[in-house]
């Protein structure tokens, strides 16, 4: 046998420098040992063991780290050795040596090992070289193993029960899904779930898993979109192609062993990976249930999945999109609210009838039930009351940025001023003080107001200035409006906070229209522009109404749903060059707290109940800049943009405003042409005829606009709605022309054009009022023409691009 041993040792590279005599000498101390498959030659932590040279067979070097599974570090084939390192450092064995095959080894005990090193000290060097090489390899393998361990823990999520609401819909849908779940829990074989995005395929997979597997079994979710890059190599890896029983111990099936492997959008795997997955599923047999999901019609499956993979799935089930089972929407929505209320320890809010109708009218094509969940979660978090109304329901696509804009907040000084808010606060207080002083002056010293021209300036400058400024700078007047400042001051002290009646929200355009008509009519009929007392009463009445509404209802309900002045400048500002908008990607990916809507401790939320990612027009943004101060994510922008562009991009606008535009257009005829028949003292007959024509044309204007624009049931503005909004420049021009006549001194102002003729200098006088009328008319007509043309052009382009896709 000594010859045998010496012969075997002669083939070992480690001992290749020994002569035959030396090998014979060394072989004397070695003993033969044989081990079967699965035997452990050395155990990790074993204090005493020997040095081994593997002559035949194959062993695995296994390691177990605390709290982790046993992991294979590497394999040793015949000719390799093991046990030397712990003999060298005198510590217990760091790894386990496990036989993968029948093994024959030559064993040298610790004493013999020491003698060998004394006899041939250069062997130290060989061992140290080998140790270094092994350490490098082990490091690589261990870091790969660590990576896979991280993957494993990332994938083995079992807290899905908290992720899903567990609601399917109404009794009919719930019964059907329950029946399917029961069927799948009894059935054998893998499952394909089809359905649109957000229909609840993953939730269904989770509940199938719950019913089929043990509670602690892994539920591993991987995404088909990244499968090829991330997981392909983890489907099935064999160390040894000749021996497929040796499976790499970190493949996906190992990780999901005993549980479920859920592959989302399985059709997005490349055909090659699909084939590999099919082989892996067949090879791994029943190691875990595989559930694939995809957005496809059941009849279309053979087109998007290769036959080999298709055959792996014994069952297929299609989950219907939410728009095909709308009866489920109210039940689901209320169910989500109940669960949210329980989780947040709040009263369960209820959805108002109008809010429910709004939810029912939506098609949820973006995300089905997931989209509904987002809408409900958002409404729950932003609602301050137990009734969720129209104002808390935001859905559909978020606002899109149209064209190039310049964010003025990129200018640090302006940003600092707006963030601090002290300048705006100071301006508001100053304007409010001036307003109170003006009202007192008009009431108690009207003669001073008239003689100092203050009174004339109010009517002659303020009104025309509003009409002129708003189309360019938006609702900048609202930033400092004294009605709002005083109303806010009172509201902070007395506040009933009743929910806004839905009828007000739904028909606010009628409120604006009627109040606007009334105020203008009273103003003309009472000749208020020449009467300081009446003017003071009008201002006090508006302020009293604003305060009354502010005490009753939340936020600035007056500004959003009542104020005719706000309605006028809001409409004018739709095409303005100044806008407040949010970076929707930041809002959607970063924000869970919605401070722009709910506010912070120091600054109240949006007074107009706007949720910034959904704000896409100027109509209801009163430029208070609260959102700039409140947003913790720096998402809000104050942009400069092209004038008028918003009109041809209108989407989520209050479409009822077409009635208001029609009313404003209608009254221009009596306002601008009845003056010609006016005597110094307004006669009763004139008043009667004016009243008739004024209200008649106002109503006709509103009704015609309504008939043209209807039905405005869609969420996004139709072409007709946009065309009526495109008339805004004309409406404004008409109102400016009316106001220009009241600018103090304008009727007696003339511009002279002097030109030279053969007879000498000739002079041509142009009245300032006529010049103003002409300029404003031309501007109004040209801008309206351009806007209408652009609306039509853009719609045509959009339609043709839709028809080609
Ligand atoms: S909507 Fe009316 S009350 Fe409100 S800030 Fe604007 S002008 Fe003032
Ligand atoms: S604007 Fe700011 S607070 Fe509002 S949703 Fe976007 S990130 Fe959130
Ligand atoms: S908070 Fe923002 S969105 Fe709301 S009104 Fe003020 S500026 Fe406009």
Specify if 681 maps to a domain: no
Q: Are residues 246 and 376 in the same domain?
A: no
Burial class (CB in 10 A: 0-12, 13-18, 19+), 420: exposed
Cα 138 to Cα 122: distance, rounded to the nearest angstrom: 24
By most ligand atoms within 8 Å of CB, the mutation choice from 490, 515, 563, 626 for ligand 1 is 563
- Single out the residue in 135, 152, 169 at which a domain terminates: 152
Residue 466 lies in a domain: yes
Distance, in Å, from the CA atom of 515 to the CA atom of 565, rounded to the nearest integer, reads 9
> What distance in Å separates the CA atoms of residue 312 and residue 334, rounded to the nearest whole number?
39
Are residues 205 and 128 both part of a single domain?
A: no
Work out the pLDDT band at 429, boundaries 50, 70, 90: very high
Q: Is the CB of 608 under 6 A from ligand 3?
A: yes
Whether residue 332 sits in one domain with residue 290:
no
CATH number at residue 356: 1.10.8.60
User: Which mutation among 484, 595, 621 tests ligand 3's pocket best, with the greatest number of atoms within 8 A of CB?
Assistant: 621
C-alpha to C-alpha distance for 23 and 18, rounded to whole angstroms: 6
What is the CATH number for 208?
Answer: 3.40.50.300
Can you tell me the distance from the alpha carbon of 322 to that of 375, in angstroms, rounded to the nearest whole number?
Answer: 14
Give the ranges where 681-767 is alpha helix by DSSP (H). Answer: 684-709, 719-725, 728-740
Q: CB of 657 closer than 6 A to ligand 3?
A: no
Least-confidence region, from 133-142, 294-303, 436-445: 133-142
Amino acid 249: pLDDT: 46
Residue 694 above 90 pLDDT? Answer: yes
Q: Are 352 and 247 part of one and the same domain?
A: no
For residue 667, being part of any structural domain is answered with no
Same structural domain for residues 370 and 302? Answer: no
Domain boundary among 650, 678, 704: 650
Q: Which atom of ligand 3 is nearest to the CA of 636?
A: 2
- Domain containing 76 equals 2-152
In a domain, 64, yes or no: yes
* Residue listed under structure tokens 């490091």: 139
pLDDT tens track for 751-769 = 888 888 888 888 888 888 8
For 198-252, the pLDDT digits (tens) are: 999 999 999 998 888 766 778 888 888 877 766 666 665 544 444 444 334 457 7
Residue 601 DSSP one-character state: S
Residue 219 CB contacts under 8 Å (≥ 6 apart), including other chains? 156, 157, 158, 160, 205, 206, 209, 213, 256, 259, 260, 262
Average pLDDT in the chain: 85
Best of 435, 487, 565 to mutate for ligand 1, by most ligand atoms within 8 A of CB? 565
Q: Is the CB of 705 under 6 A from ligand 1?
A: no
Q: Which residue has the tokens 């003006």?
A: 438
DSSP conformation letters of 61-105: EEEE-TTS-EEEEEEEETT-EESHHHHHH-PPPSSEEEESS-EEE
Among 597, 559, 598, residue whose Cα is nearest residue 477: 559
Q: Rounded to an integer, what distance in angstroms lies between the CA atom of residue 307 and that of residue 304?
A: 9
Q: In this structure, is residue 674 part of a structural domain?
A: no
584 lines ligand 1 (CB under 6 A): no
Determine how β-strand 40-42 pairs with β-strand 51-56: unpaired
d(CA 338, CA 388): 13
* Residue 115 and residue 236 share a domain: no
Given a cut of 90, is residue 682 above it in pLDDT?
A: no
Q: List 96's β-bridge partners, or say none.
A: 62
Helix (H) or strand (E) holding 764: strand 760-767
List, edge to edge, every strand of the sheet that includes 70-77.
40-42, 96-99, 58-64, 70-77
Identify whether 773 is part of a domain: yes
**What is the Cα Rg of the chain in Å?**
41
Q: Which residue has the higher pLDDT, 727 or 460?
A: 727
Residues 741, 773 within the same domain: yes
State which of 294, 320, 346 marks the end of a domain.
320
User: Quick one: 343 and 315 in the same domain?
Assistant: no
Output the CA 537–ligand 2 centroid distance in Å: 41
Count of domains observed in the chain: 5
User: Does residue 356 lie in a domain region?
Assistant: yes
> Is pLDDT of 254 > 60?
yes
Do 145 and 202 have their domain in common?
A: no
Task: Report if residue 672 sits inside a domain.
Answer: no
Q: What is the percent of the chain with per-residue pLDDT over 70, rounded to a whole number?
A: 90
On whether the CB atoms of residues 489 and 481 are closer than 8 A, the answer is: no
- Tell me phi and psi for residue 596, to 5 degrees: -60, -35
Cα of 579 from ligand 3 centre, angstroms: 10
**Is the domain of 196 the same as that of 301?**
yes
The arithmetic mean of pLDDT across residues 370-396, rounded, is: 88
Q: What is the C-alpha to C-alpha distance for residues 568 and 660, in angstroms, rounded to an integer?
A: 9
State the first-to-last Cα distance of the chain, in angstroms, to the nearest integer. 83
- Any idea which ligand is nearest the CA of 569? 1
User: Could you tell me if the CB of 398 is within 6 A of ligand 1?
Assistant: no
Whether 623 lines ligand 3, by a CB cut-off of 6 Å, is yes
Higher pLDDT, 42 or 802: 42
> Does ligand 3 lie within 6 Å of residue 625's CB atom?
yes
**Three-state DSSP state, 160:** helix
Q: Sign (positive/negative) of CA torsion 670, 671, 673, 676?
A: positive
- Average of per-residue pLDDT across 444-452: 89
pLDDT tens figures, 462-477: 877 888 888 888 899 9
Mean pLDDT of 8-30: 85
Same domain, yes or no: 605 and 548: yes
| Residue 627 in contact with ligand 3 by CB distance below 6 A | yes
Candidates 495, 506, 612, 601; CA nearest to 554 is 495
Neighbours of 473 (CB within 10 A): 17
Whole-number Cα distances in Å, 101 to 39, 243, 524: 9, 11, 106
CATH number of the domain that 59 lies in? 2.60.120.10
pLDDT on residue 222: 84
How many CA within 13 A on the CB side of residue 320? 15
Residues 592, 619, single domain; the answer is yes
Please give the torsion angle defined by the CA atoms of residues 663, 665, 669 and 675, in that order, rounded to the nearest 10 degrees.
Answer: 90
pLDDT at 715: 58
pLDDT of 628 reads 96
pLDDT band for 285, please (50, 70, 90 cuts). confident
Report whether residue 484 contacts ligand 1, using a CB cutoff of 6 Å. Answer: yes
Ligand nearest the Cα atom of residue 598: 2
Q: Whose CA is nearest to atom 2 of ligand 2?
A: 631
Phi and psi at residue 231, to the nearest 5°: -115, -10
Ligand 2 midpoint to CA 596 (Å): 5
């Amino acid at each position: 046998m000594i010859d045998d041993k010496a012969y075997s040792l002669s083939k070992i590279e480690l001992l290749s420098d020994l002569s035959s005599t030396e090998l014979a000498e060394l072989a004397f101390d070695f003993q033969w040992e044989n081990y079967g498959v699965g035997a452990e030659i050395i155990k990790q932590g074993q204090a005493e063991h020997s040095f081994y040279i593997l002559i035949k067979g194959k062993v695995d070097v296994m390691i177990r780290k605390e709290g982790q599974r046993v992991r294979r570090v590497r394999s040793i084939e015949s000719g390799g050795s093991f046990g030397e390192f712990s003999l060298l450092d005198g510590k217990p064995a760091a790894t386990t040596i496990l036989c993968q095959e029948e093994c024959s080894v030559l064993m040298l005990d610790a004493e013999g090992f020491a003698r060998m090193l004394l006899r041939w000290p250069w062997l130290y060097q060989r061992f140290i070289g080998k140790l270094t090489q092994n350490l490098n390899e082990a490091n690589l393998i261990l870091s790969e193993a660590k990576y896979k361990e991280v993957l494993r823990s990332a994938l083995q999520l079992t807290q899905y029960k908290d992720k899903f609401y567990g609601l399917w819909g109404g009794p009919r849908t719930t019964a059907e899904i329950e029946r399917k779940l029961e069927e799948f829990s009894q059935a054998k074989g893998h499952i394909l779930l089809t359905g649109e995005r957000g229909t609840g395929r993953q939730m269904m997979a989770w509940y199938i898993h719950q019913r089929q597997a043990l509670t602690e079994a892994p539920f591993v979710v991987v995404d088909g979109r990244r499968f090829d890059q991330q997981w392909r190599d983890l489907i099935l890896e064999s160390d040894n192609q000749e021996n497929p029983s040796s499976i790499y111990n970190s493949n996906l099936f190992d990780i999901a062993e005993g549980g479920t492997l859920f592959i989302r959008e399985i059709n997005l795997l490349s055909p090659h990976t699909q084939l590999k997955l099919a082989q892996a599923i067949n090879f791994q047999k029943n190691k875990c249930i595989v559930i694939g999901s995809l957005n496809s019609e059941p009849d279309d499956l053979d087109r998007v999945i290769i036959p080999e993979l298709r055959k792996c799935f014994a069952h297929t089930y299609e989950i219907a999109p939410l728009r095909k089972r709308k009866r489920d929407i109210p039940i689901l929505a209320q169910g989500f609210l109940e669960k949210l209320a329980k989780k947040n320890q709040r009263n369960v809010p209820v959805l108002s009838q109008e809010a429910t109708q709004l939810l029912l009218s939506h098609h949820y094509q973006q995300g089905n039930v997931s989209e509904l969940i987002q809408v409900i979660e958002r409404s729950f978090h932003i609602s301050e009351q137990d009734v969720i109304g129209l104002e808390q329901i935001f859905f559909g696509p978020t606002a899109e940025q149209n064209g190039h804009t310049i964010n003025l907040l990129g200018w640090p000084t302006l940003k600092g001023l707006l963030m601090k808010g002290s300048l705006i606060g100071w301006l508001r207080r100053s304007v409010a003080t001036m307003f109170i002083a003006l009202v007192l002056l008009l009431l108690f010293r009207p003669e001073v107001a008239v003689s100092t021209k203050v009174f004339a300036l109010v009517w002659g400058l303020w009104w025309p200035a509003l009409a002129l400024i708003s189309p360019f700078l938006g609702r900048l007047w609202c930033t400092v409006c004294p009605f709002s400042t005083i109303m806010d001051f009172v509201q902070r002290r007395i506040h009933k906070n009743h929910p806004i009646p839905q009828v007000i929200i739904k028909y606010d355009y009628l409120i604006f229209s009627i109040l606007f008509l009334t105020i203008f009519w009273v103003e003309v009929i009472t000749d208020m522009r020449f009467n300081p007392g009446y003017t003071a009463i009008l201002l006090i009445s508006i302020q009293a109404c604003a305060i009354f509404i502010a005490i009753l209802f939340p936020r600035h309900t007056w500004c959003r749903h009542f104020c005719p002045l706000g309605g006028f400048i809001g409409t004018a500002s739709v095409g303005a060059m100044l806008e407040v908008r949010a970076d929707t990607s930041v809002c959607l990916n970063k924000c869970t707290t919605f401070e722009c809507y709910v506010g912070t401790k120091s600054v109240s939320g949006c007074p107009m109940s706007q949720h910034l990612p959904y704000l896409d027009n100027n109509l209801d943004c009163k430029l208070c800049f609260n959102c700039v101060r409140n947003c913790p994510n720096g998402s809000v922008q104050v942009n400069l943009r092209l004038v008028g562009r918003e009109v041809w991009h209108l989407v989520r606008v209050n479409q009822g405003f077409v009635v208001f535009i029609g009313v404003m257009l209608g009254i221009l005829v009596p306002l601008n042409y009845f003056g010609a028949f006016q005597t110094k003292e307004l006669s009763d007959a004139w008043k009667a005829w004016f009243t008739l024509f004024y209200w008649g044309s106002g109503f006709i204007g509103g009704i015609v606009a309504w008939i043209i624009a209807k039905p405005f049931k869609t969420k996004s503005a139709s072409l007709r709605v946009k065309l009526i909004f495109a008339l805004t420049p004309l409406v404004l021009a008409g109102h400016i022309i009316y106001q220009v006549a009241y600018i103090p001194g304008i009727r007696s102002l003339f511009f002279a054009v002097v030109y030279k003729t053969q007879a000498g200098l000739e002079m041509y006088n142009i009245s300032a009022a006529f010049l103003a009328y002409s300029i404003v008319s031309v501007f109004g007509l040209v801008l309206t023409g351009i806007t209408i043309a652009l609306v039509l052009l853009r719609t045509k382009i959009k339609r043709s691009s839709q028809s080609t896709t």
